[in-house]
């Protein structure tokens, strides 16, 4: 990513270490003593049935939902806060701000000087250069999702938590955006929630499947080779079948 010198870049994005994390909503235990690690600079896809607690896990890592117990830390020992960008299921664009101002929202809130050039460049990356001054209500669902992605990238954080960022897109736009994202998200530590085994297999270095109540994580599945992988790669198709099998097995329990 061609960040201007005003924004400090990172040489190696930190990994995330999750230790004995427990989350409860009232009497309901979402997960208990959950421990896993995400290597710095890796792209991890998190799959699992709806309602299992994937989004809750992401929000807990982002610091939005306080856990009952457990510890979330960065592998380099420095605090994780302010190094995480989060993109939710909904686009969360502010209806009264133009697309451009939505992208630059973070810097405005922090009282920094908004970097218009970079915001416009990111909008161009996601194919929204023409709509920079439009209001979100005039955009289609896919366009809004792309604007939200541009905003997440504008935050310029080494750790990205993405909750089904491409789910609202049509197949063609999704495939294109996945390829762009794979480029743009290089040199980030990414945890991506997705329901799409194909998406998981194309983009990630490692897959994790979350199942059960309270939820547990299955053994990591390593995906070899450079990303983004071609959709017709035979190895990818095999892996996708394997993944579907695991998901189906997980949803029966």
Partner 1 sequence: MIARAPFLRVAVPLAVGVGVLIAWEGLVRFYQVPAFLLPAPTAIWQAFAANADNLMVSLWVTLKVTLAAFALAVVGGVGLAVLFSQNRLIEMALFPYAVVLQVTPVVAIAPLILIWVGLDHAERALLILAWIVAFFPMLSNTTLGLRSADHNLRDLYKLYGASRWQTLTELQLPSALPYILAGMKISGGLALIGAVVAEFVAGSGTSTGLAWRIIESANRLQIAKMFAALFLLSGLGIAIFFALTLLEHLTLRHWHESAVKREN
- The site for partner 1 (CB under 8 A) is made up of 59, 62-64, 82, 84-86, 88, 90, 92, 94-96, 105-106, 109-110, 135-138, 140, 155
Check if the beta carbon of residue 40 is closer than 8 Å to that of residue 189: yes
**In whole angstroms, how close is the CB of 65 to partner 1 at the nearest point?**
9
Nearer to partner 1, 188 or 229 (CB): 188
In the complex with partner 1, the residue whose CB is nearer, 165 or 197, is 165
CB of 92 to partner 1, least distance (A): 5
Angle between helices 141-154 and 116-125 (to 10 degrees): 130
Q: Which residue has the tokens 């299955």?
A: 218
β-strand partners of 193:
46, 163
CA-to-CA distance for 152 and 122, rounded, in angstroms?
10
- Give me the least distance between CB of 120 and partner 1, in Å please: 20
115 or 209, CB closer to partner 1?
A: 115
The structure tokens listed for 150 are: 């541009």
For residues 89 and 162, what is the distance between their CA atoms, to the nearest angstrom? 8
- Min dist. Cβ of residue 109 to partner 1 (A): 4
DSSP-assigned letter for residue 186: T
State which residue, 128 or 200, has the beta carbon closest to partner 1: 128
3-state secondary structure 209-239: EEECCCEEECCCEECCCCCCCCCCCHHHHHH
Is the Cα torsion angle 102, 136, 56, 1 positive or negative in sign?
Answer: negative
The minimum distance between CB 25 and partner 1, in angstroms, equals: 14
User: For residues 101 and 240, which CB has a smaller minimum distance to partner 1 in the complex?
Assistant: 101
User: Least Å distance between CB 106 and partner 1?
Assistant: 4
In the bound state with partner 1, the residue whose beta carbon lies nearer, of 1 and 135, is 135
Radius of gyration over every alpha carbon of the chain, rounded to an integer in angstroms: 18
């Amino acid at each position: 990513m061609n960040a201007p010198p005003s924004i400090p870049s990172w040489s190696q994005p930190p990994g995330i270490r999750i230790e004995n994390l427990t989350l409860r909503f009232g009497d309901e235990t979402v997960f208990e003593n959950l421990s896993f690690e995400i290597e710095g600079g890796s792209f991890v896809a998190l799959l699992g049935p709806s309602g299992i607690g994937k989004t809750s896990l992401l929000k807990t890592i982002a610091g939005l939902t306080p856990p009952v117990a457990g510890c979330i830390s960065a592998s380099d020992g420095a605090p994780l806060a302010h190094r995480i960008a989060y993109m939710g299921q909904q686009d969360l664009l502010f209806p009264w701000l133009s697309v451009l101002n939505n992208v630059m929202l973070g810097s405005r809130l922090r009282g920094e000087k908004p970097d218009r050039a970079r915001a416009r460049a990111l909008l161009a990356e996601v194919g929204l250069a023409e709509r920079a001054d439009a209001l979100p209500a005039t955009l289609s669902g896919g366009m809004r999702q792309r604007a939200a992605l541009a905003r997440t990238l504008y935050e310029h954080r080494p750790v990205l938590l993405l909750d089904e960022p491409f789910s609202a897109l049509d197949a063609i736009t999704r495939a294109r955006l996945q390829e762009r994202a794979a480029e743009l998200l290089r040199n980030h530590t990414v945890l991506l929630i997705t329901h799409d085994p194909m998406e998981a297999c194309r983009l990630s270095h490692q897959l994790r499947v979350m199942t059960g109540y309270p939820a547990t994580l299955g053994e990591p599945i390593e995906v070899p080779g450079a990303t983004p992988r071609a959709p017709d790669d035979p190895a990818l198709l095999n892996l996708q079948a394997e993944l579907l099998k695991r998901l189906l097995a997980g949803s029966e329990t």
